[in-house]
Amino acid sequence: MKSLYSKRLSKHQKELKQLYFKLYDSYGATPKDFDSLLSMMFERYNERSDRLNNLDQHHKTWYLSRKLVGYTLYVDLFSDTLRKLEKKIPYLQELGITFVHLMPLLQTPEGENDGGYAVEDYLEINPSLGTMDDFEHLIEQFADANIVICIDYVINHTSDTHEWARKALNGDSQYQDMYLMYDDRTIPDQFDQTVPLVLPNKRPSNFTYKEEINKWVYTSFSSFQWDLNFKNPLVFEEMVNILLQLANKGINMIRLDAIPFMWKELHTSCRNLPEVHDLLHLFHLIKEIVCPSLVLLGEAIVEPDEIFKYFGTEERNECSVLYNANLMVNIWNAFATRDVRLLNIDNSKYHIHDQGCWMNYVRCHDDIGWGLNESALESLGVSPYYHKQYLIEFYSNQFPGSFAKGEIYQFNPQNNDARINGTTASLLGLERSYDEHNEYEQYIALRRIFLAHAILFSHRGIPLIYSGDEIATINDQSYRSDDRKNEDGRWVHRPYFDWTRAKKRLTPKTFESIVFNAIKNMITIRKKHSVFDGDVQSTIIINNDISLYSFVKATAKERILFIYNFSEYRKELTSEPYQEFQFSTNMEDLFTGRTIDFNHPSITISPYEVLWLMEKL
Ligand code: GLC
């Protein structure tokens, strides 16, 4: 009988070979290089444990399950070490978490390392967090607790202390070819003309001069993060090899960091180039052969039209899961404007194939960049430029009457662009209302936090909670006096997890208990109902009020109608657009038991109300 491996290989080998040579023929790849790739893949396959082989055979689409509820945390901030994280498993289980994304934990240099996104050794754990054995032990403990695990693979760049970078700095030309290096400014200047800056505030160029070798190194992010040269077939093979070795540790999902940047060509923006899509399809084919249960999560925080291309197509998959940055900005936009029309437009616009799945989030460790669907804004008669200026002011304490308390990040004086930092609770009004002792506003802020999460939990995809949001963590200014952090404002929303506050989840009427229990309840409900499975599409229902967002999802068993009021005003929802769906007369809200009958001409929706109206079929 043919082994599973050879079956999978024969299914994909032809396409793998064609695509490999399409990319690498002109960069000197030989048939020997391809054979070396294949034999490395076979070696990695042979290292897979029985448990992982079983997952590969039977659980390829686990990421589409409604039971998957994610949580992102920094090990050092949450539990100090990997060993101590094991002791926190009951907390995660209490909330209902079944998927944990551990923020970067591979070995980084001491001092500034971009929160772990400058990796020195991809196969070692940061000693301050523990060892590789601790990590593997944690994965087993998670597996026993039915929690799957995701870690970052910082694939676009290494730190300047990585072994390859050190050798390159010693003048070894083979290692210099692993990166993009130039003897003078001629080519860097040409690149800089068309490549936008990621950190305009911090760095005026995409290149860093290294005196030791008298060369300019391509560094999209910080000077200590060197972009890898993916045109070099050796880089490709090495990075695939590391990916597969990480997968063999038992990691279920790997977050591919900053994928749009992976391929560079002169006279382009060096973002989202067609070759990046080829590369990602190659990664997909390789993992389908070696470890099909591994899921690739793409981090592509770019314009909405570009993000969703990273799913590829049904025939030509790239990443199975992608961060839904578009939903995230649309949520923040809807809160600031009390207008859900962008949500309506984009929900209907970006249809993804059945195997694709969004990772839905409100906040994460990064800033909020205003990657709105600009043509949709224009179609609504809104100027994208002025609209962005409004959002920036609204979320950074500059707009009178705003509830938000956020901070400007990376202001670019050339185009007045800026991004925003802050935690969910601070951006949604809890911090300000607390400072002002305004109890009604506190109540309203809690409703906003509930609404934001309800959107995550009801939209198609995996909901991902950012650690601390479940206890309404507010901005933390302590990073300003920490030398390793004070250059980067994103630390305002990356505080140490406050376990004293977390205890208050057990004390009724505290913010912590209100938010924690609301999210926990939402998770319980989500896990019960088939409409929350990842392959169930939704249909938007446009109504009479631009603050009211509604959509319906149905399976053979049940239908749920979701209604959200993105404003602090009581609204009258006209029943008429709902009548064609012939909802039953006693649709019942899964949170409060409130019943709704669309035979009435209109229905009252209270400020920031969330309705999950259920109908058994
Ligand atoms: C991603 C990470 C971000 C990091 C960057 C460079 O965007 O989310 O935190 O700074 O990549 O690795």
Pair (547, 587) in one structural domain: yes
- Report which ligand 1 atom has the smallest distance to the Cα of 220: 6
**Residues with catalytic annotation?**
257, 299
- What is the pLDDT at residue 353? 86
Q: How far is the CA of 429 from the centre of ligand 1 (A)?
A: 27
Q: Are the C-beta atoms of residues 159 and 115 closer than 8 Å to each other?
A: no
What values do phi and psi take at 106, rounded to 5?
A: -80, 165
Q: Is residue 430 part of a domain?
A: yes
CATH of the domain at 137: 3.20.20.80
Structure tokens at 273: 């180039």
Which residues does the chain have with pLDDT short of 70?
A: 1-2
Relative orientation angle of helices 325-337 and 384-395, to the nearest 10 degrees: 80
Pair (366, 488) in one structural domain: yes
Q: How far is the CA of 221 from the centre of ligand 1 (A)?
A: 8
- Residue 413 buriedness (CB in 10 A; 0-12 / 13-18 / 19+): exposed
Go through the chain and tell me how many residues it has. Answer: 617
Q: Give the residues across from 152 on adjacent strands.
A: 255
Q: Is residue 296 part of a domain?
A: yes
Q: Is residue 75 part of a domain?
A: yes
Q: Are the C-beta atoms of residues 32 and 69 closer than 8 Å to each other?
A: no
Q: Is residue 385 part of a domain?
A: no
Q: Are the C-beta atoms of residues 222 and 203 closer than 8 Å to each other?
A: yes
Q: Is residue 5 part of a domain?
A: no
Nearest CA to ligand 1 atom 7: 258
SS (H, E, C) 200-215: CCCCCCCEEEEHHHCE
Structure tokens at 187: 């080519």
For 438, the domain range is 62-155+234-378+421-532
Q: Is residue 217 part of a domain?
A: yes
What values do phi and psi take at 111, rounded to 5?
A: 80, -150
Question: Where does a domain end: 166, 200, 227?
Answer: 227
- What is the pLDDT at residue 2? 61
- What is the pLDDT at residue 123? 98
Number of Cβ within 10 Å of residue 278's Cβ equals: 18
- What is the pLDDT at residue 555? 96
Pair (148, 169) in one structural domain: no
Handedness of CA 201, 205, 211, 212 (dihedral sign): positive
Question: Where does a domain end: 192, 227, 262?
Answer: 227
Pair (312, 357) in one structural domain: yes
- Vertex 64 angle, CA 63 and 70, to 5°: 55
CATH of the domain at 609: 2.60.40.1180
The alpha carbons of the chain give a radius of gyration, in whole angstroms, of 24
Q: Is residue 457 part of a domain?
A: yes
Pair (144, 162) in one structural domain: no
- Please count the CA atoms within 13 angstroms of the CA of 126 that sit on its side-chain side: 23
Pair (173, 320) in one structural domain: no
Structure tokens at 64: 């589409």
Pair (462, 596) in one structural domain: no
Question: Where does a domain end: 483, 511, 532?
Answer: 532
- What is the pLDDT at residue 1? 45
Q: How far is the CA of 420 from the centre of ligand 1 (A)?
A: 15
Structure tokens at 612: 């999950």
Pair (503, 559) in one structural domain: no
Pair (335, 217) in one structural domain: no
Number of domains present in the structure of the chain? 3
- What is the pLDDT at residue 201? 79
- Report which ligand 1 atom has the smallest distance to the Cα of 114: 10
* CA atoms of 256 and 328, how far apart (whole Å): 19
Pair (303, 271) in one structural domain: yes
Nearest CA to ligand 1 atom 8: 366
Which residue out of 155, 366, 419, 464 has the highest number of ligand 1 atoms within 8 Å of its CB and is therefore the one to mutate? 366
Q: How far is the CA of 570 from the centre of ligand 1 (A)?
A: 40
Pair (338, 445) in one structural domain: yes
pTM across the whole model: 0.96
Q: How far is the CA of 258 from the centre of ligand 1 (A)?
A: 6
Pair (150, 167) in one structural domain: no
Q: Is residue 565 part of a domain?
A: yes
Nearest CA to ligand 1 atom 11: 258
Nearest CA to ligand 1 atom 3: 366
Question: Tokens 């002002």 correspond to what residue?
Answer: 436
DSSP 368: B
Q: Are the C-beta atoms of residues 347 and 540 closer than 8 Å to each other?
A: yes
Residues whose beta carbon lies within 6 Å of some atom of ligand 1: 114-115, 117, 154, 221, 257-258, 299, 365-366
Q: Give the residues across from 605 on adjacent strands.
A: 571
CATH of the domain at 197: 3.90.400.10
- What is the pLDDT at residue 207? 98
**3 state SS of 532:** helix
Relative orientation angle of helices 511-528 and 439-458, to the nearest 10 degrees: 20
